[in-house]
Amino acid sequence: MLSALFFYLFAILCVGAAFMVISVKNPVHAVLFLILAFFNAAGLFVLLGAEFLAMILVVVYVGAVLVLFLFVVMMLDVDFAVLRAGFLKYLPIGATIGILLLVELIFIVGAWITAPDIVAQAPTPPASDVTNTEALGLILYTRYVYLFEAAGLILLVAMIGAIVLTLQHKRDVRRQSVAAQVGRTREMAVEVVEVESGRGLS
């Protein structure tokens, strides 16, 4: 009974936060609602016994990816007036796609039938001596190792892109030139001066 209560609580909050992500006008608020949706999804993973997935969802997505999104949204100088001006232009196309997706979802839910032999076709559970984290690691680093590496490369490209978009150079600021420093010669750095005795440097 208690697990069902927490399931409905996390599910309702997750769906509500996901709806707010696409409905709010401020992108910063959208990212914050997305963080709330991920936290509730992590709670659902804990209820399902997938504690490792819940931890990864919080640490990786909330702690890294969404914080990166939040910094990019806050640091970019986005003209929201221009974005809102083009909203009405693409509204018919967006509404058509949304209606088609809604009709597909209605058909899927209406035609949902559970086969009587679905329980017999379920895969056998892993051995009891293998934990959830170990079983996931065995699958992830053997069968899906190339997809895992590709996902890491995509995240690396996203991080580099965010840095490039937020990097701004000011003209009146003196910057370090590594090539000029490495290319310095002895004649450029050292000046030998012959000073007469008792005269000193002027």
Q: Tell me: do 22 and 40 sit in the same domain.
A: yes
CA torsion sign, 47 to 49 to 52 to 53?
A: negative
pLDDT at 138 over 70: yes
Q: Tell me: do 74 and 88 sit in the same domain.
A: no
Question: Is 136 or 77 the better-scoring residue by pLDDT?
Answer: 136
- CATH code, 43: 1.20.120.1200
Q: Hey, which of 56-70, 141-155, 156-170 has the most confident mean pLDDT?
A: 141-155
pLDDT at 129 over 80: no
Q: Tell me: do 52 and 71 sit in the same domain.
A: yes
Q: Tell me: do 88 and 21 sit in the same domain.
A: no
Q: Confidence band (pLDDT; 50, 70, 90) for 117?
A: low
Which region among 57-61, 108-112, 143-147 has the lowest average model confidence (pLDDT)? 108-112
The confidence score (pLDDT) of residue 78 equals 61
**Residue 116 forms part of a structural domain:** no
The confidence score (pLDDT) of residue 156 equals 93
Q: Tell me: do 66 and 1 sit in the same domain.
A: yes
Percent above pLDDT 70 for the chain: 82
The confidence score (pLDDT) of residue 153 equals 94
**Residue 22 forms part of a structural domain:** yes
User: Averaged over 119-138, what is the pLDDT?
Assistant: 69
Q: Is 198 left (phi over 0), alpha (psi -120 to 50) or beta?
A: left
Dist. CA 32–CA 21, nearest whole Å? 8
Which residues form the domain of 145? 129-165
Q: Confidence band (pLDDT; 50, 70, 90) for 12?
A: very high
Q: Which two tokens stand for residue 119?
A: 């329980």
Q: What are the backbone angles phi and psi of residue 22, rounded to the nearest 5°?
A: -95, -5
**Residue 181 forms part of a structural domain:** no
Q: Tell me: do 67 and 17 sit in the same domain.
A: yes
pLDDT at 146 over 80: yes
The confidence score (pLDDT) of residue 191 equals 81
For 14-64, what is each residue's pLDDT tens digit? 999 999 988 887 777 888 888 889 889 988 888 888 888 888 888 888 887
Which region among 9-18, 63-72, 137-146 has the lowest average model confidence (pLDDT)? 63-72
Q: How many separate domains does the chain show?
A: 3
Q: Tell me: do 159 and 141 sit in the same domain.
A: yes
Question: Is 174 or 150 the better-scoring residue by pLDDT?
Answer: 150
Q: Tell me: do 10 and 65 sit in the same domain.
A: yes
CA angle at 98 for the pair 94 and 99, rounded to the nearest 5°: 120
Dist. CA 8–CA 43, nearest whole Å? 11
Q: Tell me: do 97 and 145 sit in the same domain.
A: no
The confidence score (pLDDT) of residue 200 equals 64
**Residue 189 forms part of a structural domain:** no
**Residue 90 forms part of a structural domain:** yes
Q: Tell me: do 5 and 18 sit in the same domain.
A: yes
